[in-house]
Structure 1
Amino acid sequence: MIIWRGWGILVLLIAAAIAVPCGIVAGSLMGSQASGLGGAVGCVLAAVAVYFVGQKLNAPKQGFHPATGQPVEYRNSHTFFFVPMQYWAFILPVVAVAIAATAFPL
């Protein structure tokens, strides 16, 4: 089961949209074993994209309380598996290392 809040599902969609084509291109250019390396590079590139999208979506917004008129800071919560989107930028490179390790076993 996939759990997300807000636009957190974009982590999966961005990672798939970048890593899968990178793996396909690397596999077609250099052979089937290189597709894992291409997918790993795609995960690292997706991590960069996820970081900036998460920073933008989870940035606090300045507003005013409707009843009192006092300034309030509204925080968004866009999470994927209870982890804020921008922190997935540090998890995706670990996934990339795991993909590369399975592509080139010792």
Structure 2
Amino acid sequence: MIIWTGWGILVPVFMALGAGGGGLLTEELFGVGTGGNGALVGALLAAVAIFLLGRKLNKPEQGYHPRTGEPVVYRNRHTFFFVPMQYWSAIIPVIGLIVTVVTMIKGTA
């Protein structure tokens, strides 16, 4: 089960497009066996995009209470698995490095 709020569902979409697109592009340009490096670069680019979008979407906004007119800060919540979008930009490179290292180890064994 996937849990998200707001536009948090864009985290796996960006990740799949970045890593998948980078891997396929690298395989096409440089040959078989190079897709892992391209997927890592694509994942890092996706992490940058997720950070920028998450920071923009989760920015608190100043507003006013409709009845009292008092100033209120409205906080937006765009999360994926209860983690705000912009914090996934730190998690994704770690996942990408782990996958790359495991792939390299399997390739040499």
**Alignment TM-score, normalising by the size of structure 1:** 0.93
- Which structure 1 residue ranges, 4+ long, deviate > 3 Å from structure 2? none
Q: What is the one-letter code of the residue matched to 2:99?
A: I
**Alignment TM-score, normalising by the size of structure 2:** 0.91
The equivalences for 1:38-57 within 5 A come to 38-57=38-57
Q: What is the one-letter code of the residue matched to 2:92?
A: L
The equivalences for 1:43-82 within 5 A come to 43-82=43-82
Corresponding residue number in structure 1 for 2:94: 94
Corresponding residue number in structure 1 for 2:2: 2
- Once residues 58 and 32 of structure 2 are traced to their aligned partners in structure 1, the CA distance between those partners, rounded to angstroms, is 38
Corresponding residue number in structure 1 for 2:21: 21
- Matched residue of 1:72: which SS? strand
- For structure 1, the residue ranges without an aligned partner over 5 or more in a row are none
Aligned length: 106
- Matched residue of 2:32: which SS? coil
Q: Percent identity?
A: 51
Offset of residue 30 of structure 1: 2.5
- Matched residue of 2:14: which SS? helix
- 8 A Cα contact 1:19 1:39, kept in partner: yes
- Once residues 84 and 18 of structure 2 are traced to their aligned partners in structure 1, the CA distance between those partners, rounded to angstroms, is 20
- Matched residue of 1:8: which SS? coil
- Matched residue of 1:63: which SS? strand
- For structure 2, the residue ranges without an aligned partner over 5 or more in a row are none
- Matched residue of 1:66: which SS? coil
Pairwise CA RMSD: 1.1
